[in-house]
Amino acid sequence: EIVLTQSPGTLSLSPGERATLSCRASHSFSSKYLAWYQQKPGQAPRLLIYGASSRATGIPDRFSGSGSGTDFTLTISRLEPEDFAAYYCQYYDSSRVTFGPGTKVDIK
C-alpha cells in the first residue's frame, strides 16, 4: 500500500512569492500515477496536475509539477491571491487511490 506524506502541513507566504510543496511516497512508483489538486474553502477540489508534471485544462502556467520515484513537488512560481488554498497529492494505480494529507497555503 502506498502512503503519501505532504510537507509542510502549512505554508505561510505572501502574494508574489514562490511556493514549493512536497509529496513523498512510501514506495517508488511511476510518475504517471501522481496528480495534484487544489481545494478552496467551500469548494470541491480541482485537478491541477496529472502525470506528475502535466497541467490540466485551464490551469495557469505558474503551476508546475515535477518529481519521480518517491519524491514529487508542486511549485507555484508567483502566488496570486486566489492561490491561497489547500493542496493534495494523489496516487492512483487502477486498483486503489490514495490522497496525501494536504498542504495549506495561507497568507503570511
Partner 1 sequence: EVQLVQSGAEVKKPGESLKISCKGSGYSFTNNWIAWVRQMPGKGLEWMGIIFPGDSNIRYSPSFQGQVTISTDKSISTAYLQWSSLRASDSALYYCVRHGGNYSFDYWGQGTLVTVSS
Per CB under 8 A, residues contacting partner 1 are 32-35, 37, 39, 44-47, 50-51, 54, 56-57, 86, 88, 90, 92-102
Shortest distance (Å) from residue 34 CB to partner 1: 8
List the grid coordinates of 16. 508574489
**Which residues 6+ apart lie within 8 Å of 48 measured at CB?**
35, 36, 37, 38, 55, 56, 59, 63, 65, 74, 87
Cβ distance to partner 1 smaller for residue 14 or 57: 57
Shortest distance (Å) from residue 45 CB to partner 1: 6
